[in-house]
Amino acid sequence: MTGAYIRVKRRGKWENIEFELLTDKEMAEFADADPEVGWQWAIFFAKYIRDKIKPIMDGLVKEGILKEGEN
């Protein structure tokens, strides 16, 4: 998980939820509330995937655990 949390009201109570675990409805509400902030989150996740996830996937390909194109 990313460790990037956002405050969301669920069942009448505010909770800290990791961004990628928001429901589709919550994500849409978040994006509609402030599109600029939505773009900031999109950039954050693109960088996270590029800097954290892609190197892991590339390592799995190098070790032969995944085939090229599966990542």
* Domain ranges, residue 30: 5-62
The pLDDT of residue 71 is above 60: no
- pTM of this prediction exceeds 0.85: no
Per the structure, how many domains does the chain have? 1
Residue 70 lies in a domain: no
Distances (CA, A) of 10 to 1, 6, 13, 26, 59: 20, 12, 5, 10, 38
The radius of gyration of the chain from alpha carbons, rounded to an integer in Å, stands at 16
pLDDT tens digits, 13-65: 999 998 889 999 988 887 778 888 878 888 888 898 889 888 888 888 889 88
Hey, which residues does 15 pair with through a beta bridge? 8
The pLDDT of residue 10 is above 90: yes
Residue 71 lies in a domain: no
In this prediction, residue 1 carries a pLDDT of: 64
